[in-house]
Amino acid sequence: MRLARFVDGHLCEGGMWDSYSFEHWRCWAASIFSREMGWPAWNQPGWQISRWLFDDGIRECDRDYLFWSIQALRFADPEITDKEIRMIERSGKTARICLTQGCSDYDYCENTLYWNPVETERVPVDKLRGEQWFRADPLIALARQLSHMRHDFCDNGDASDGHERDMIAVSAELRMRDILSRKDPTRPCIRPTPGRQETRGTL
């Protein structure tokens, strides 16, 4: 990923930074943005969502880690994921975000998002399908569940059936798989277009 600073349409001298992975970007983005005037973290899309995380002391993730994970999704997919994050926060509704050691999921009845920030493998419902789809990624899972949340908050998701919800989530997963496979060389195991059957259910 590449981050650049422009003023009046011109690239500033020394104003470009390259990262070799999303994880690397997440580590140094906070220090770069903290020096930027007019970019307070608390005023950025995703800040409000990150504050919904129930902090139970799990070391793998805190609210700041979630915030920068959301920023990685925004910068990676400004056309869709960024807009969905903005729609969630403009909806006026709130949710609860909990960390889990199981599969990431979204509960429409309880308005609760469950996220596993370290999950890198899952087993498809049909174990006879190709093993290449066993590989997962926390960012893919987060994008998928945030898409569920946007559907719930902005499209009356409580009234939708399982098939409609599944289609929303599958679209988000396929898009983020494609982005990761193209932009992050440290994730060669992530396939861009998993089969329809493997993406059913939770990630």
pLDDT of residue 4: 64
CA distances in angstroms from 138 to 29, 77, 148, 163, listed in the order given: 18, 16, 15, 23
Least Cα distance to 118 among 95, 99, 133 occurs for 99
- Its pTM stands at 0.81
CA distance 43 to 58: 26
Whether residue 134 contacts residue 122, with contact meaning beta carbons closer than 8 Å, is answered with: yes
CA distances in angstroms from 167 to 36, 171, 197, listed in the order given: 39, 6, 11
Structural domain spans, the chain: 42-199
| pLDDT tens by residue, the chain, 203 residues | 666 656 666 766 666 667 778 788 777 777 777 776 677 889 999 999 999 999 766 666 899 999 999 998 998 888 899 999 999 999 999 999 999 988 899 999 999 999 999 876 655 555 555 555 556 789 999 999 999 999 999 998 888 888 888 888 888 888 888 888 887 777 766 765 544 443 333 34
Residues contacting residue 33 through CB under 8 Å, at least 6 positions apart: 39, 41
pLDDT digits 0-9 by tens, 145-197: 999 999 999 998 888 888 888 888 888 888 888 888 887 777 766 765 544 44
The label of the residue with tokens 């999704």 reads: 73
Long-range contacts of 176-183 (CB under 8 A, 24+ apart): 176/73, 176/76, 176/77, 176/81, 176/139, 176/140, 176/143, 176/144, 177/140, 179/76, 179/77, 180/22, 180/76, 180/137, 180/139, 180/140, 183/1, 183/22, 183/76
